[in-house]
Amino acid sequence: MVLTPAALIFSTLTVTAYVIANFIYLRFRKTPLNPVITTTVALVAILVLFDIPYETYMEGGDWIAFLLGPAVVALAVPLYKHRQLLQKNLVPIAAGITAGVLAGLVSGTLFTRWLGFADELILTVLPKSLTTPVAMQIASTIGGIPSLAAVFVMVAGFTGILLGPYMLHALHIDSPIGRGIGLGASAHGLGTAKAFEYGPESASMSSVAMTLAAVLGALLSPLVAWLLL
């Protein structure tokens, strides 16, 4: 990657927009608008308003995406700090992640079948609750549309971080393990970011749930697709 003027401008714009959105979110905690959603909407509005091509923006966006690798690796830090919590609750954690993965795979498939979607679209929606690279690969393998699968993953993530806290409250799920698994297994990376708001233990469990959900989802997706279609 080359640090061109456009890359510098748009990477700075992205970071600045997020910092402002995060400040507003922390200042007014009662608002349901997560800074990730607010930043996305703001950046799309700027690109449309000034007629900036997506390719031009991605000269800076690629630098932001490059930082995702170290960010994911950094999730191992809270996981290591709370490894004893993971060891003591290995069975319920494994059961919760398995239930979350199955719910994510089956619910999307049944809902889209009920709406009368074509099989190709159903197979595209099926891995929606898994992290983007895994979901795209699964969609490609089972006959879906990888690029569209990424869109459904984003929709699932945004839905999870918006509605997840209300569902956790309604179901009286207030333990770090329950919150972390619920957010990580349903809303992947965005859910893990949300889990940090509940504390490092929830964040650790969410990162575990996100990672294991991706592995388990890759194994179960073809089976679920075969059984339901």
pLDDT score of 45? 93
The mean pLDDT values, 10 residues at a time, for the chain of 229 residues are 76 89 78 78 90 84 74 70 80 89 89 88 89 84 86 87 87 88 87 85 85 86 84
pLDDT score of 11? 87
pLDDT score of 75? 66
pLDDT in tens, 114-171: 888 888 889 999 988 888 878 888 888 888 888 888 888 888 888 888 888 888 889 8
CA angle 26, 29, 35 (to 5 degrees): 55
- With a CB cutoff of 8 Å and minimum separation 6, the contacts of 113 are 122, 228, 229
- Alpha carbon distances (Å) from 160 to 11, 154, 179: 26, 10, 12
pLDDT score of 49? 92
- Alpha carbon distances (Å) from 153 to 42, 46, 75, 92, 223: 20, 23, 20, 26, 20
> Could you please report the per-residue DSSP string of the chain?
----HHHHHHHHHHHHHHHHHHHHHHHSTT----HHHHHHHHHHHHHHHTT--HHHHHHHHHHHHHTHHHHHHHTHHHHHHTHHHHHHTHHHHHHHHHHHHHHHHHHHHHHHHHTT--HHHHHHHTTTTS-HHHHHHHHHHHT--HHHHHHHHHHHHHHHHHHHHHHHHHTT--SHHHHHHHHHHHHHHHHHHHHGGG-HHHHHHHHHHHHHHHHHHHHHHHHHHHHH-
pLDDT score of 29? 66
Cα 183 → chain centroid: 9
Nearest to 126 by CA among 141, 189, 212: 141
pTM of structure: 0.76
What are the residue ranges spanned by the domains of the chain?
Answer: 5-66, 76-228
